[in-house]
Amino acid sequence: MLLKLALLEQIKAGQVDLVFRRWSRPSVKAGGTLKTKAGLLSIGAITDMDPADVTEADAQRAGFKDVADFRKWLDTMKPGHLFQRIEVGYLGDAS
């Protein structure tokens, strides 16, 4: 799962603890970790869902100002038949 550096920094700072992905097949598993440029992330619960079910609270936890901002971002994403809500956390240096 590729994450932009600005988003990684928000996760590291504790400002973001949720990401959304639309893809053909998942690239992370619940309970796993992800090594990134900003450090090691924990992968928490992964929930299959419909993008229409994203709440204001979920959008804000993912770093969007509101659901409209989330939908604008979603429109830029490549197609995929699977949409997932992924809980993430910062674990520390990835060295």
CB-CB contact of 40 with 91 (8 Å): yes
pLDDT tens per residue across span 69-92:
999 999 998 888 889 999 999 999
Check residue 94 and give its pLDDT. 76
For the segment 41-60, the average pLDDT, to the nearest whole number, is: 96
CA dihedral (7, 12, 18, 20) positive or negative: positive
Check residue 66 and give its pLDDT. 97
Residue 1: pLDDT band by 50, 70, 90 thresholds? confident
Q: Give yes or no for residue 50 having a pLDDT over 80.
A: yes
The whole-model pTM stands at: 0.91
| CATH architecture for residues 5-92 | Roll (2.30)
Check residue 23 and give its pLDDT. 85
List all residues 6 or more positions away from 45 whose beta carbon is below 8 Å from its beta carbon.
30, 85, 86, 87
